[in-house]
Amino acid sequence: METFPSKNIAITWVEKGSLARNLFLSFGFAIVTALSAQIRIELPITPVPITAQTFVVILAGLLLGSTFGSLSMLMYLFTGLAGLPFFSGSVAGLAILKSPTIGYIIGFFLAAQIVGRLSHTPLLAIVLGTGMIYLSGVFGLTLILNLSFIEAFTIGVIPFLIGDLIKAFAAVLIAYKIK
């Protein structure tokens, strides 16, 4: 079995290009994040849909590094806030600020930052990055839906654990192959 290299996956991939190329890649990941938001599975037990976004966030952090990976998530957020249909479901523009998913979207920026910084240790990177998405998401659910932390955790984390583990593992494998 092949092991992951000790070199930082993200930095070696991004360093190969110019600033313009890296900004273009960042915007490309913002668009892919928006597209992955449109692939959604509604669950009756939670207002948060299953999407492929966590996969893209982790992949952005691994391939683009902390700076450009998190920039791609800011581009995603601000392009959606500007009114383009980037967010999951029928939410667009400033309405996302009242959506139960706003915490997760903010967590995408933080997670890409964490994953990019820790990409030399992919397991730690995806655990902490995904944990940050969950923590931000739970915080958002408590604020928007006026839930307790336990209630928000129950509907905002537990239903997603297995799927996010699979998506994170796939992101690491793809990043390693691209590198």
pLDDT at 49: 96
**Mean predicted confidence (pLDDT) in 51-80:** 96
CA 147 centroid distance within chain? 23
**In the 8-state DSSP scheme, what is residue 41?**
B
pLDDT at 11: 45
pLDDT at 91: 82
CA 93 centroid distance within chain? 19
Residues in a beta bridge with 41: 50
pLDDT at 16: 67
Chain segment 125-140, per-residue pLDDT in tens: 999 999 999 999 999 9
Minimum mean pLDDT range among 8-22, 54-68, 112-126, 129-143: 8-22
Confidence of residue 13 (pLDDT cuts 50, 70, 90): low
The fold for domain 9-178 equals: Arp2/3 complex 21 kDa subunit ARPC3 (1.10.1760)
**Mean predicted confidence (pLDDT) in 134-152:** 98
Cα–Cα distance measured from residue 96 to residue 148, given in angstroms and rounded to the nearest whole number: 21
Residue 45 burial (10 A CB sphere; 0-12, 13-18, 19+): exposed
- CA quadruple 124, 129, 135, 138: dihedral sign: negative
